[in-house]
Structure 1
Amino acid sequence: MVHVSSGIDLFDDAVLADPYPTYARLRELGAVVRLDAHGVWALPRHAGVADALRDPITYSSERALALTDEVNERVLTDTVVGTDGAAHVRLRRVLSRQLAPRALKSLTAGIHAHARALVDALPSGEVFDGVADLAAPFVSGTVMRLMGLPDRDRARLLDLADATFDTFGPDSARTRAAFPRAEEMFAYLDRFAARGRVAPDSWLGAIHAAADRGDIDESQAVPLMLSYTVAGMDTTIHAVTTALHLLAGHPAQWRLVRERAVPGDAVFAEALRMEAPIQWFGRRAGRDIRIGDTVVPAGEQLLLLYGSAGRDRAKWGPTADTFDVTRPDSRDHLALGLGVHQCAGNHLAVLELDAVLTALGARFHTLAAAPDRAPTRRVHNILRGLHTLPLVAA
């Protein structure tokens, strides 16, 4: 079998801190590259990732998303992202009832009001943290209320969601350290999201109702809740703060956004293209897969590198590493998946970012990085986002 292999370790701290030079090397090596450090195959190019997402039979999500069997079997079994076929459709249907544009229409005014209240509390001309003072309380506060969980648990759930994602990595000290907190997420949901503890008209109440109707098995209720408690907060917080960070560094583009010359969904798409909140997901080869001159044997695991696909010059041209809210094809990014596994909460995430940008644009003419205070990131196995984001608006 002809194949290209590499000793690149995608989970080295230095690579996680700045993965884009490594992604560029992988794209140069080929359409599919064997990563010897982890015994998996990487798909670094936009075309290859898109092809895989369009074919969930050949590229299966079952027992495939994370790099260890323990997480695939103990954390991701019966989750909407870890199932295929009829099982996936059945689980996703429950989420879609709450997250479809029609269902979100009644929430729009309240979400915009929440964003305005937080923006109105920001100091004009003084430093604030775009994560702690805006994106995190806005997104998590919105989702906690819709889930029917107490706001006092917001910080705890954000920490547990972050840890749950960190378990997706290879068998390493970082991954093992996250595992007890991922298990704590299940324990929390077993206790605080039980029947009688969440409102029947909440998102989590709707999951219990689906189990009562027989739409899903009772055992699938808590795993399905992870779609809200894990995927519904961290990823959107990272997307919002990434957009703010990029806009703060590009005054002319912030002016376009403030003047509503570009729609919020275009800003969202370009921010996701530049910095995918989830940098990769795994898949399992459902059969022998020929990619160019390489055959990936059935049963082997592949990593779909969303973060690399977003910077692929074969797709985006020589400006692939440049932030541009007017880019005409930014909506072709793959950061939220594609096809049957496209993120069910993408409409809510767009609504949330648009509410933040609208509120900021209505109050502030300028948005800039705080002088002498750099943003910080936390090294993470799969998520990419800012831990702090010092900003000044006036």
Structure 2
Amino acid sequence: MFVSFFPQPKLFFSSAAIWSLAAILFWFFGGQQLGAHLGFPPAAPAAPPILGVPMFWSPPFLWFYIYFAVMLAAFYLFWRFYAPHPWQNWSILVSAFILFSTYINVQIYVALNNWRGPFFDLFQKALTTPASVSAAELYSLFSIYALIGLMFISLFVVTRFVVSHYIFRWRTAMNEFYVQNWPRLRHIEGASQRVQEDTMRFSTTMESLGVAFADSLLTLIAFLPVLDTLSTHITELPLIGPIPHSLVIAALVWSIFGTVLLAVAGIKLPGMEFRNQRVEAAYRKELVYGEDDPNRATPLTLGELFQNVRRTYFRYYFHYAYFNIFRAGFGQADAIFSSVILIPTIAAGKITMGIWQQISTAFGQVSSSFQYLVTAWPTIVELISIYKRLRAFEATLQGEPLPDIDQRYLAGQGVKDTA
């Protein structure tokens, strides 16, 4: 699954994580200031944020682009010489591009949050004091919003185009790898489907989960300082009272609660999704045999196989039903949580409409990032089931025993055990 596309996957991913962490730490503990010596000074602490897209070509951002390129080049050149791989341009350079575009996308949301403060303060002033705000002032701020939106659309289109090719290249690498080893893999139940379909689903799902994880991490890096700064406007939290870093603590506690709640509620789903795939594969395989052999795919056999399909799916639907109860309930509570904890501050009249908008947006970004497992859990369930199917290939090629469920199939116990 990974060795076909990445050079020495275990070492590659561990080195990528260590190098990324080192680059991030150096950036925050000296790298940003280093840019000042090269003509790219950081923004002054008390300076107001740059509104709109000009922030993306301000000196701090230009220095970040250079810093990112240098770190990427060092990592790429190391692997280029240490362990050359036919797909490393895609697995390293294009992966880095996707991470970079994800970072820029997060910064677009930061730019939008910076815009909300002055716009909604001006909006509030226009409503409370007639004729105090001109239409030109409002149009001017709306034009800034439009340019931010145009940048978001452009980045989205380019990124999705690149990602589509990235996914297909990964699928191509897996397909070529498994086809080369087809004589050793063909005996595994559903081998054709695993090569044709599961490789596509695995690459697509891994990309979406990886980007979502990177987005959550980068969002925390970008918005946690914003949320901590906005915490100074909060007088107290309901039932708790005044505490330092109140919004950050509230977002962390709420997100941990939601993650644990849904992880426990959905703990059985990955195995059940895998069983669904197994009984489907057995049913489909018998139908394929019946196309060429009149003695196969008899009504009795097909009826028994479909009964297994029915039994596993109905059991899956039951477990997914109570999982959805918890997921929908938490989603509804999450939609109002940030507003509820702001009620004492709002009642005290301590914040303006612009600050309220900024707090709501920043809290939502941080909270959703902490809740990565909550939002990604259905996709993780699907990925685990795909991984279990492709794991039989990996075990065969590495000379390891097949997973238990595949061994039971080969032993002749068939799909009844999977139900």
Pairwise same-fold verdict (TM > 0.5): no
Scaled by the length of structure 1, the TM-score of the pair is 0.29
Larger radius of gyration between Structure 1 and Structure 2: 2
Structure showing the higher strand proportion among its residues = 1
- TM-score normalized with structure 2 length: 0.28
